[in-house]
Amino acid sequence: MEQGQSLSDLHSDGMQLLHATSVACHGKAVLIQGCSGTGKSTLALQLIALGGVLVADDRTQLWQGHTSLMVDAPDRLRGLIEARGVGILRAVPAGPTPLALVVDLDELEKDRLPERHETMLLGQSVPLLRGVSEPHFAPAILQLLAHGREA
């Protein structure tokens, strides 16, 4: 990220541009946030390999839809994802998708069975997972999107 650039910019139309990657699965999106180099695109590629669909890489548009927060890619980045050491790859874009979950890769989860966490986006509470550096993390995210979490 360039110096002086914020993690998000709020536009006058209520659209927020986030320095984040997002992937859809089961009609719901996960927003992956973190500083440059934390693995946003890597996690997205893992999710895509397991059946997810790219919404946006590196920059995600966020806005309040009729019933939920929505995410999509800016036009110039639609259908593109960076793979370090490989290049910019093409992907079929998911298009606008309701946001269901945020993953914060800047913080690592230390608890085996963590308490539920939430974050606020555009004044709405969204479930939050902290990063997990284990091979089950990507499949667990997809399982959570598909079937939820035990209370």
Best CA proximity match to 121, nearest among 137, 109, 106, 103? 103
Q: Which value, to the nearest 10 degrees, does the dihedral of the CA atoms of residues 67, 129, 52, 99 take?
A: 10
Q: Which of 104, 108, 95, 132 is nearest to 20 (CA)?
A: 104
Options 19, 57, 72, 104, the catalytic residue: 19
Q: CA 134 to CA 59: how far, in whole Å?
A: 25
Expressed in angstroms, the distance from the first to the final Cα of the chain is 37
Our answer to whether residue 40 is catalytic in this structure is: yes
The one catalytic residue among 40, 57, 72, 104: 40
Whether 19 sits among the annotated catalytic residues: the reply is yes
- Which residue of the set 110, 112, 116, 147 is catalytic? 116
28 carries an active-site annotation: no
CA geometry: angle 116, 41, 58, nearest 5 deg:
95
Do 128 and 20 touch, CB atoms closer than 8 A? no
Catalytic option among 57, 58, 72, 104: 58
Active site residues: 19, 40, 58, 116
